[in-house]
């Protein structure tokens, strides 16, 4: 499986409602892409000091499937709309043939 992982920190004036709006928009958008077979996003729980504030992990069987999702105009529109709330963003795509502890 190919995974796309993104970590965000937000600007100081972002509200809880803003973050919920981003999460809702992302979940609604990914629902349009059945080729994205794994998706999770959410706020940091505060378990580890220094963690980023928000994470997204999306998985697809092929890099092409993931690229189709990431390059879709709807997905790009969400990124553009919410960009002003983001202070830092880090992303990585990687392949993992084993992703369960079996």
**Residues 11-48 pLDDT 10s:** 999 999 999 999 999 999 999 899 999 999 999 999 99
101 — pLDDT class (breaks 50, 70, 90): low
Residue-range domain boundaries for the chain: 2-95
Query: What is the CATH code for 2-95?
Result: 3.30.70.100
In tens, the pLDDT along 57-95 reads 999 999 999 999 999 998 899 989 999 999 999 999 999
Give the span between the Cα atoms of 86 and 83, in whole angstroms: 5
* Strands in the chain per DSSP E: 2-10, 36-43, 54-60, 86-95
- The pTM assigned to this predicted structure is 0.87
pLDDT number for residue 97: 83
């Amino acid at each position: 499986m190919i995974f796309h992982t993104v970590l965000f920190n937000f600007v100081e004036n972002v509200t809880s409602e803003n973050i919920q709006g981003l999460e809702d928009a992302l979940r609604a958008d990914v629902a349009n892409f059945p080729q994205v077979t794994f998706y999770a996003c959410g706020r940091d729980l505060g378990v580890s000091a220094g963690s980023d504030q928000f994470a997204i992990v999306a998985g697809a069987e092929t890099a092409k499937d993931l690229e189709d999702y990431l390059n879709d105009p709807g997905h790009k529109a969400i990124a553009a709309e919410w960009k002003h709330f983001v202070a830092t963003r880090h992303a990585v795509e990687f392949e993992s043939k084993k992703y369960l502890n079996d």
